[in-house]
Structure 1
Amino acid sequence: SLRSFHLAFIDQFAVPKKRFNSAAFDAKVNEGNAKFQKAIANEQFTARRPVLIDLKAQFDADAAHIRSKASRAKITPALATEMKKDVNKIYDHALGR
């Protein structure tokens, strides 16, 4: 699912003291973009497309945030925890839970 991918992305790249691999990061961002674009394009209920677009925007924002923090060696143990908590809230809200 998109949620699982998003959470795994955070787990993979929001890791304190881990050397930031820009090429792997960019490849995973591209993979995520493709997954979101496909989900948006394949969504049969047009009313759900804006929700998917919002979830993609959150993924983009999280990717930019991780890149920024990693470039300044500012990834803390709390970062991934907080980001994942926020992602779960956003997906729960988007799915009307």
Structure 2
Amino acid sequence: MTTVVIDNPSASRFEVREDEKLAGFAEYHVFKDEIAFLHTEIGERFGGRGLAGQLIGTALDTARERRQKVLPYCPFVRGYIAKHPEYTELVPREDHARFGL
């Protein structure tokens, strides 16, 4: 199986595809140099394969490359950052307490 994560800016979301089928997405809103992650969803038949982690890892790596500040409103994104502290620096320090980081 081939898994790919793409940014779909026209839909304001990162998408994870497995064999070209949409498996899930992470919705976002961009304002200036910030990207706010709002909601992450993986289709029921694609669950349990680690696709959400691949999706968010790629989305956060992309935010880092673009020098965007990350606002993790989505609980899954917050949890992912908490488990992968190398991404904590993407969240503005003044927002760490707000997001429980």
Per the normalisation by structure 1, the TM-score is 0.33
Which structure has the greater CA radius of gyration? 1
Determine which structure has greater relative contact order: mean sequence separation of CA pairs < 8 Å that are 6+ residues apart, divided by chain length.
1
Which structure shows the higher helix fraction? 1
Per the normalisation by structure 2, the TM-score is 0.32
Which structure shows the higher strand fraction? 2
